């Protein structure tokens, strides 16, 4: 659906911008610079995309990705931000694990793993994109979701973290809060939408969330105003991460009790622990300039690079360990939290 919108919208003249672009994988590593700065290893494995200055400690005083990076895995050549989410594993009947790789959205074929990233000014289905937003500032960072959520009620605190079971690459509905319970022929897509209202003062906060808030109507999509405590309207940042689960779809490999076999790198098999992290790193005011342009996806102010250049940017894993790409692991890297809640 998102992709179909993009192709039909060229006819409409929006007042401001919506951008949607691919980013290749930078590295898969057990690092978590926001929650566990400096720790190598951190508690669980992530896939990271974006600028190649990504390191275990990215405290803003010493780390501006736009200044320190020399390449980025993202299509916009001026975007050295880092974006990351947890890795996914398949758990075999004998209790061993193999890592599930990510794959590109349609339209981004050739991209090595990674994600699709959006910045928008109005809800995705709004062809005009009229409402002005203030772009994120240097030093800005945030996260959404928590790996400790193990019930739907806990996951519902983050209303826009969902899954789509891809019947084909164009499937966009329905979205669920938990992992799909049946095999998904084209993979599992994780949708992460961040809050969009900023307190206007703090580039970060102790929980990396409370400097941001949802709109008064609950979500950006429902188009409510920002609350007085967080009055500044920011772009809706959204990730789509597609896990290539198809190689594990054979029913004879799935658990005999009828549950689904996928588990996050932190041990969650419900999917309620869905979370994503963001460290802003656009060069100068490149993001604000794009947001102020009248364009939809193809924005002349957005300098782009080729998929070959995106794939050519990577960093070496800092925590050297077997992450289960070739071998079946007897435990998740770092053992995660080893939370074993069953899908409800």
Ligand X SMILES: *[C@@H]1O[C@H](CO)[C@@H](O)[C@H](O)[C@H]1NC(C)=O
Interface residue with ligand X among 159, 224, 294, 328 (CB under 6 A) is: 328
CB closer to ligand X, 232 vs 253: 253
d(CA 74, CA 210): 27
- Residue 112 CB, nearest distance to ligand X (Å)? 13
CB closer to ligand X, 38 vs 247: 247
- Residue 101 CB, nearest distance to ligand X (Å)? 16
CB closer to ligand X, 244 vs 293: 244
- Residue 95 CB, nearest distance to ligand X (Å)? 8
Per-residue mark of binding to ligand X, 54-93 (x: CB under 6 A): --------------------------------------x-
Per-residue mark of binding to ligand X, 277-306 (x: CB under 6 A): ------------------------------
Other beta carbons less than 10 A from residue 120's beta carbon: 24
- Residue 281 CB, nearest distance to ligand X (Å)? 19
- 203 CB-side CA count, 13 A: 15
CB closer to ligand X, 127 vs 328: 328
156, 155, 142: which is closest to 277 by C-alpha?
142
CB closer to ligand X, 246 vs 253: 253
Contact (CB, 8 A) for 193 and 161: yes
Phi, psi for residue 342 in degrees, rounded to 5: -90, 155
CB closer to ligand X, 220 vs 243: 243
- Residue 125 CB, nearest distance to ligand X (Å)? 36
Contacts with 149 (C-beta within 8 Å, 6 or more apart), sequence order: 155, 157, 158, 272, 273, 274
298, 240, 297, 235: which is closest to 274 by C-alpha?
240
Looking only at residues 306 through 325 of this chain, which bind ligand X when binding is defined by CB under 6 A?
A: 308-309, 312
Question: The tokens 């694990």 sit on which residue?
Answer: 97
Per-residue mark of binding to ligand X, 203-242 (x: CB under 6 A): ----------------------------------------
CB closer to ligand X, 163 vs 254: 254
- Residue 97 CB, nearest distance to ligand X (Å)? 9
Ranges of H-type helices in the chain: 2-8, 65-68, 152-155, 286-292, 307-311
Contact (CB, 8 A) for 36 and 58: no
Torsion (CA) 311, 76, 280, 122 in degrees, nearest 10:
-130
Per-residue mark of binding to ligand X, 88-127 (x: CB under 6 A): ----x-x-x-------------------------------
Phi, psi for residue 52 in degrees, rounded to 5: -85, 10
Any contact of residue 252 with ligand X (CB under 6 A)?
Answer: no
Contact (CB, 8 A) for 82 and 49: yes
- Residue 96 CB, nearest distance to ligand X (Å)? 5
CB closer to ligand X, 7 vs 94: 94
- Residue 312 CB, nearest distance to ligand X (Å)? 4
- DSSP result, 130-167: -S--PPP-TT-EEEE--TT--SHHHHTTSTTEEEEE-S
CB closer to ligand X, 158 vs 243: 243
Q: What is the DSSP letter of 200?
A: S
Q: Residues interacting with ligand X, by CB under 6 A? A: 92, 94, 96, 253, 308-309, 312, 328
């Amino acid at each position: 659906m998102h992709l179909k919108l993009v192709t039909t919208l060229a006819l409409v003249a929006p007042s401001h911008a919506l951008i949607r672009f691919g980013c290749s994988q930078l590295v898969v590593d057990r690092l978590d610079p926001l929650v566990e700065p400096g720790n190598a290893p951190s508690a669980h494995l992530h896939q990271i995309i974006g600028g190649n200055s990504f390191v275990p400690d990215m405290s803003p005083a010493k780390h501006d990705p736009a200044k320190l990076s020399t390449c980025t895995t993202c299509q916009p050549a001026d975007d050295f931000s880092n974006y990351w989410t947890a890795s996914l594993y398949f758990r075999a009947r004998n209790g061993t694990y193999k890592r599930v790789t990510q794959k590109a959205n349609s339209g981004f074929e050739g991209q090595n793993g990674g994600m699709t990233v959006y910045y928008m000014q109005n809800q995705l289905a709004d062809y005009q994109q009229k409402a002005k937003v203030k772009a994120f500032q240097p030093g800005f960072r945030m996260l959404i979701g928590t790996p400790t959520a193990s019930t739907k009620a806990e996951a519902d605190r983050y209303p826009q973290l969902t899954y789509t079971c891809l019947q084909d690459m164009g499937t966009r509905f329905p979205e669920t809060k938990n992992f799909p319970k049946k095999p998904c022929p084209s993979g599992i897509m994780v949708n992460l939408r961040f809050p969009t209202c900023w307190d206007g003062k703090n580039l970060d906060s102790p929980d990396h969330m409370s400097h941001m808030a949802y709109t008064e109507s609950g979500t950006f999509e429902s188009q409510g105003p920002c609350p007085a405590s967080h009055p500044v309207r920011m772009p809706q940042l959204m990730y789509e991460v597609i896990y290539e689960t198809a190689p594990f779809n054979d029913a004879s490999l799935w658990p005999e009790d009828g549950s689904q076999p996928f588990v996050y790198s932190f041990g969650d098999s419900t999917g309620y622990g869905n979370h994503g992290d963001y460290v802003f790193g656009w060069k100068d005011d490149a993001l604000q300039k794009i947001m102020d342009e009248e364009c939809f996806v193809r924005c002349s102010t957005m300098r782009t690079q080729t998929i070959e250049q995106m794939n050519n940017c990577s960093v070496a894993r800092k925590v050297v360990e077997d992450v289960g790409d070739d071998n079946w692991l007897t435990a998740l890297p770092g053992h995660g939290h080893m939370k074993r809640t069953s899908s409800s």
